[in-house]
Structures are given as structure tokens and as C-alpha cells.
A and B are shown apart, each in its own frame.
Chain A
Amino acid sequence: MNRQLKLNRGLVCLILIIIPFVIPLFTKEIYTFHILISVGMNIILATTLRLILISGQLSLAHGGVMCVGAYTSALLVIKLGISTWLAIFLAGLATLILAFLVGFPFVRLKGIYFAIITIFLGEMIILIGEQWKKLTGGSLGILNIPRLDPLITPGGVTLNFDSKIHFYYLILILSISIFSILYSIEHSRIGLTWKGIRQADFLAESIGINTTKYKVYVFAISCFFVGIIGGFYSHYMTVVSPRTFGFLFTIYPLVYMVAGGMEKFSGPILGATILTILPEIFRPLKEFQPFIFSVILMLIIFFLPEGLIGLPKRIIHLVSEKDGNA
């Protein structure tokens, strides 16, 4: 890629990063920030899902993994009184370990079977959450989870996390950090190896690549970040219950990823942003909103096979075709 293109790309990225930071200057609407925080969480869930997909596996366990992260963080803080920041990190560690434990037997399964077993894993986690009342409070969940401990920034400002705007900045910084890491890894030889495993895993084995290890690692890395988001969720919402993690956080990231486009790193980001905000735009329609959502979703799937990422190209195509005929 030549210099000019790289520069343009970098500039666009910079602008896209700066815009979210200055949004709070233009609005103080609490609900807006709730949506933006949801966008942040969804983007990370969709991006981590895509990472696993790169190695050829479809994981439908995100909801259950997030549940483990959320409960781990909540319980560590409530029962052991440790700092929420440490708890969130440990939540990620817990899901990382879980991923390693189930990963090694699971990744032996090919294609659809891996997806199915992850569905059941997720469901079992939620059932355990409902059943193990002593630990998790059962179906009713845990209430009154402490918000994040106050943080003192380098500038001497104390963030008490009593305002959604603080959470917003936190998820913003988390997102950018996580994306940088995932982007780097994907564009390194590790990412190349994952992509090779997806295309021809026998061939990869024959040249010395331990495909099992690589598949487990990508699963584990993704689950680590999903666990972190789970921890964030529990201290943000301050309530958790098992069923909330059942459907939404497994199926929707999948939808965001496919609708956004799976080829590029930015696909899930675009998909999650647009499809999280879309229902809010149609909120005034009340009960008809889900219809609009599902219709738009199906339109995207039918007419944009490469996802929303492919939209600019399509428009350019259409425009240039029109000129050609004129």
C-alpha cells in the first residue's frame, strides 16, 4: 500500500478515534451515553467473535462466558471485598482459564459441531447460574453490585464512576486498547497462522503448526476480553442474573459481525455501532421497532453479502454505472 493511502487511512482512523472523545461536549443526555456504552460492549463482543472465526471456528458461547466474567467480578468484590479493578481483571483471567479448560477438548470438533457444543456450553453455564443458588443467588441474580472504585487520573482528577460519562470514557479507552491489541495480532504472523488453519488445517499441521494450540489460544484470548467486558457490565449495571446472558450476548454479536462484514477488522465495529443505534432511532415506533430491525437486518444480509463494510464500494459502483450509461 502506497504512502498516500496509508496516510489517508491513518487520518481517517485518527478522526474516528477523536470523535467519540469529544461527544460529551455536545450532549449530556444520560440515555445517549447508555447507548454508547452498549455500543462499546457490543463492538468488543463482535470483534472477539470475529477473531475466533478467523481460525475457522464459530463460537456461540459468548453469552455464557460473559456471564462467568460478570459473576466472577461481582462475587469477588461482594464476598472478598477486593478492588473492583482487580476483580474485573480476575474475571478476565477466570474466563481465560475456562477457555483453556474446555478449549482443548472442544477444538477437536470441526465446523458446525464446534458451534453446537459452544451453544450447549453457554446454556449450561446459565443453568448452573440458575441452579447454584448459594453461590449465585439463583435466577434472581445478584443485586447491588458496587460500582467501580474511584480512580485518580494522572491529572489529579478523581473519577467516582457515579456518572455514566465516566463509564463511557472507560469503555472507550478499553475498546481502543483491545482493538489495537487484536488488530496487531491479526496482522502478525500469528494472525496469518490462524487464517491458514482455517483454509487448510492438515496442511498447517504438516509444516509444523500445532493447530490445536493455535485454535485454543485464539479462543482463550477472545474469552479473556469477553470476561473483562462481563466484569465491566456487572459493575456498570449493578445487577446481574443468569438469563440476561442467555440470548442477547451470544446471538447479537454474531448478527453484528455478519451484518457488518467479516472480511475486514472494522466490519464488526461498523455492524455493532449501526445495529445498536438503529433500534434507538426507531424507538418512537415502540412495539414495531423489532420489525424494522429484523427487516433491515434481512435486507443487509440479502443485498450486502460482504456486509455493511461493502456499502461504500457498492454505492460507488452504482454511481459509476449510472455515469457510464448517461
Chain B
Amino acid sequence: MGMLEIIRLTKHFGGLTAVNELELNINQGEIVGLIGPNGAGKTTVFNLITGFLKPSRGKILFYKEDITAKKPYSIAGKGIVRTFQAASVFPDFTVLENIMIACYLKPKIGFWEAAFHLSRYRRKEKYVLGRALEIIRFVGLDEIRDVPARSLPHGYQRMLGIAIALAAEPKLLLLDEPLSGMNAEEVNKTKILIHRIWEMGITILLIEHNMGAVMSLCQRIVVLNFGNKIAEGSPDQIRENGEVIKAYLGTMKYAS
């Protein structure tokens, strides 16, 4: 079922065209990979989908609703949540606090309940704490849950970033290079995590340079180069595609 429709999406930065007439459909329940050399426009596409950038042209529909150029928080509220490559966590918070702030969307708390810590508020907080602990366990971070995020090794910070996005109850999860900077053990852990998230029914759009991971995780792959979509298909099709190989000449990583 069509979840996300990207129609003729274009973004100019002065004289540079970062994204050019992109057409892309994501169906519910898929894991789609978005790959391409550095500078191909992948993160720009994420920024456009999630409202951090306004498109120069084009439309983005989420379940048929036009979300083009809406504010990021409202797009997140509709169920599209993304991770970031840099600044992926709240550095001064503990792991637990990082998740708890992301459990923001529901249940809603009002100003007066918070000001006076009414029993209704305390019940909601208990629920939120429970959810946060569940997510921490699911992601595998519960041994370090009271550690400040800035002290975590890089790989764990990225996993925490995914956990934060998860806590925001996404229907569509946009992961921006979740495996970058990770060692082999962390890569494995995260690959399994991504797969388990998908099994929960969450649709995933994944930017990654780690080709082994992309090939094994994704059912469909979209390839960008200089802002244009140059190929789309199953992992096998993409692997054989001449255009893709040309674009990537010398820059591909076959890590698994």
C-alpha cells in the first residue's frame, strides 16, 4: 500500500541542484535502501521529507496527505521519524533520559498537571518510564541506561539515536547512515536491530554506504547520483547495473 509518494522533488541551492525531479514511492512494510556516492543528495532528500528543508519544486504525500514543507515536528507527529548522522543524541542526558524525552508524543501532559505533579501526571510518567525501559531493552542498551550519552562510544551513540527515533513511534523510519563509524560487532548488532524493527511492522528508508548491509537488509534499492535517480530495483539488479557501478567506481565498500 502506498505510504510515501515523492513527486518531482527538486531542491536548488543557489546555482547547485542538490535533488532533481526525484520520483519515489515507498510502500508500507518495505525496507528501502537509498544509496549513492557522497554528495548525491541523499541526506538532502531526508531533510526535504522531514521538513528541515523546503523543496524548490515538487510534492511529498504521506498516506495521500500533502506534507510538503510542513514543520518538522508536525511531520514527526504524523509518523515519519528520522535519525541524524551528527548530533544524534542529547549529550548531557543519560541513555534513559534520551529515550524518555522521545516518548513525548503520547501521552500528552498538560502544563498544570506538570506544575503540580497531579496523580494523573504521575501515572502517565510511570507509563512513559515503562515504555522507555522496554525500548532500552529492545535495543540492548539497558546495562548502560544511566550513562550520560556523551560518554558512550560512537557506535552505541548511533544505536541510541535509533532508539530515540523508535521511541517517537514512527510508522516510517528514516535512518541516515546508522552504521557509519561502527566496528564489526556494532555493525552486526545494529543490522539485527534494524531487521527486528522492520519485523515490528515499521517501514524503513535507509541511507547507507555499507553495501553488504544494504544488500542483505533491503528489498528494494534506489540509487542517486548528483541529485538524480539513476537506478531502482532489487539488490541483485542493482549489483549488476552498469550505471551504478560507473557512479561508484572506486568508492564502493563491500564490508559485511
Contact = CB atoms under 8 A, between A and B. Distances in A.
Most chain A CB atoms below 10 A, which of B82, B115, B165: B115
Main secondary structure of the interface of A (DSSP, over half): helix
Contact of B167 (A190, A202, A205, A207): A207
Contact of B92 (A190, A195, A203): A195
Contact of B93 (A190, A199, A205, A209): A199
A313 interface: no
Interface in A184-210: 184-185, 188-193, 195-196, 199-200, 202-210
A200 B89 contact: yes
B16 to A, nearest CB: 22
A191 B121 CA distance: 14
B128 interface: yes
Interface in B185-201: none
B164 A208 contact: no
Contacts of B81: 206-208
B101 A193 contact: yes
Contacts of A200: 87, 89-91
B171 to A, nearest CB: 12
Contacts of A210: 71, 73-74
Interface string B126-168: 0010000000000000000000000000000000000011011
Nearest to A196: B101
Contacts of A188: 109, 114-115, 117, 121, 125
B128 A189 contact: yes
Nearest to B76: A208
B76 A205 contact: yes
A61 B87 CA distance: 31
Interface in A178-233: 181, 184-185, 188-193, 195-196, 199-200, 202-211, 217
Interface in B85-121: 87-93, 97, 100-102, 104-105, 109, 111, 114-117, 121
B114 A184 contact: yes
Interface in B232-255: none
A190 B100 contact: no
Given A189-B100, A190-B109, A209-B104, A203 B115 contact: no
Interface string A111-151: 00000000000000000000000000000000000000000
A192 B84 contact: no
Contacts of B50: 206
A277 B206 CA distance: 60
Given A188-B114, A192-B100, A203 B73 contact: no
B114 A190 contact: yes
A193 B101 CA distance: 6
Interface string A284-308: 0000000000000000000000000
A294 to B, nearest CB: 32
Contact of A199 (B90, B111, B117): B90
A206 B101 contact: no
B114 A189 contact: yes
Contacts of A199: 90-93
B128 A207 contact: no
B52 interface: yes
A104 B90 CA distance: 24
A59 B89 CA distance: 26
B29 interface: no
A191 B101 CA distance: 10
A208 B104 contact: yes
B37 interface: no
B58 interface: no
Contacts of A202: 52, 72, 84, 87
Contacts of A196: 90, 93, 101
A203 B114 contact: no
B93 A195 contact: yes
Nearest to B113: A188
Contact of B115 (A185, A208, A209): A185
Most chain A CB atoms below 10 A, which of B81, B88, B101: B101
Contacts of A203: 84, 87-90, 164
A208 B90 contact: no
Interface string A17-38: 0000000000000000000000
Contacts of B74: 210
Nearest to B117: A184
Contacts of B117: 184, 188
B205 to A, nearest CB: 14
Contact of A181 (B93, B97, B115, B164): B115
Contacts of A189: 100-101, 104, 109, 114, 125, 128
A189 B97 CA distance: 10
A208 B97 contact: no
8 contacts: A188-B109, A188-B114, A202-B52, A203-B88, A206-B81, A206-B168, A208-B105, A209-B104
Given A191-B114, A206-B83, A207-B164, 9 more contacts: A184-B114, A188-B125, A192-B100, A193-B104, A200-B89, A202-B52, A203-B84, A209-B73, A209-B104
Interface of B: 50, 52, 71-74, 76-77, 81-84, 87-93, 97, 100-102, 104-105, 109, 111, 114-117, 121, 125, 128, 164-165, 167-168
